[in-house]
Every structure is written in structure tokens, then in C-alpha cells.
Chain A
Amino acid sequence: NAGVTQTPKFRILKIGQSMTLQCAQDMNHNYMYWYRQDPGMGLKLIYYSVGAGITDKGEVPNGYNVSRSTTEDFPLRLELAAPSQTSVYFCASSHERWQGGTDTQYFGPGTRLTVL
């Protein structure tokens, strides 16, 4: 299993541009999450999904959109990029049921985005 994969690894955007961050998992997880990580601020939840066709806002959803058309994929869309969206973005997934008594979110390697 590849686990959680994210593309691209790095990206530089100009203010006002748009882009889609890709996330895919091959573990048949129903639950998927998008976080952003700013220096010294921990990870903040942007959006999450409990299954195909079902998404909901997290703590910091403004400026982002998501879709979930399949179990495997959970892309994050940035519209009209702003410097405040400069961050490292992580996608994560977890199984619907606890595995061995442990609730684990599996994280991808991240996408480092800079908006200039």
C-alpha cells in the first residue's frame, strides 16, 4: 500500500491564481481530512469528509473548497490564492472503525505552498 499520497510536493503561486492540491489513499478509508500547518501553530483542520459525496467545514475553511467523488480521492481547491494561504498542507485519512483499539489518522507527506 502506498498509504496517503499528495501532489505536488511544492508549488509557488501568484496572488489571485487558483490550484488544486491532490490527495489519494489506497487503504479504503472512509474518513479523510485536510490540514494546514503554519510555523509554531500546529495543524488546523480545513475540511473533512466521512465518505464519498459528504464533506464538511473544519476550523479554517475560508478560501478553500473540497469535493469527494470517490472513496480514494479528496482534492483541495484554492481559489484566488492569497499570501495568508502560504503554508504546508497535509491530507490524512482514517478507518471508519477503530483498528485494534487505536484511532489513527494516517498523514500524507504534505504539499508546501508559497503564495507571492
Chain B
Amino acid sequence: QQQVKQSPQSLIVQKGGISIINCAYENTAFDYFPWYQQFPGKGPALLIAIRPDVSEKKEGRFTISFNKSAKQFSLHIMDSQPGDSATYFCAVRSGSARQLTFGSGTQLTVLP
């Protein structure tokens, strides 16, 4: 049972363009929606996160848009840079230990 569906699997964007990655979830009990960024050979690192009582959160070039009724959230990277090339994972949180369930990941390549 896949609780989080992430798309696209891979994305190629020109430098300066906008990168958009989408996630859809099934369980309304999730209470926190982070995005993690992973560079090759490294562990994931928290990029940005949103709570379900907010529809949008922006940090620098990164924005999360959250649609509670549609059970979807997305990551927008404005003015994409080659240094943004990485794998991005959405996640949803639940449980007393704040366990995360991750999407399958999106490999982003930003061309110079």
C-alpha cells in the first residue's frame, strides 16, 4: 500500500527555470509534510516543511504549496540552479514517534 505517490520520477530543467515536484497522500491523519534533499553519496537533509493548517510556505527559492482537500502538496524551486541537482523526497508524518513515510523520490537535473 503506497501511502505517498510522488511525481515525476525525474525532471530536467534549464538554469533559471522553475522545478515542480508533486506528492499525493491517502491518509488524512498525517500532520506534517516535509521535503528532503539528497545529494549522491549523502544522507537526506530537511529542505522545507509545512503543517496542514497552512496552504503555502516559502523559504528563499523554495516553496511548498499544500492542498488539504485534494490531499496533495508540491515543491516549487524558483530560479533553479545547477547546485540544486539532487534527489528530492516528499514525506508525511504520523505516529507517536513522528515516523516518516517517504515518496519514491524525484531526481532533478538543472542544466547550466
Contacts and interface: CB of A to CB of B under 8 A. Distances in A.
A84 B104 CA distance: 18
Interface residues of B, number: 24
Contacts of B41: 109-110
A35 B99 CA distance: 11
A43 interface: yes
A3 to B, nearest CB: 9
Nearest to A49: B97
B34 A109 contact: no
Contacts of B49: 102-103
A92 to B, nearest CB: 7
A94 interface: yes
B111 interface: no
A18 interface: no
Interface of B: 4, 6, 9, 32, 34, 41-46, 49, 89, 93, 96-105
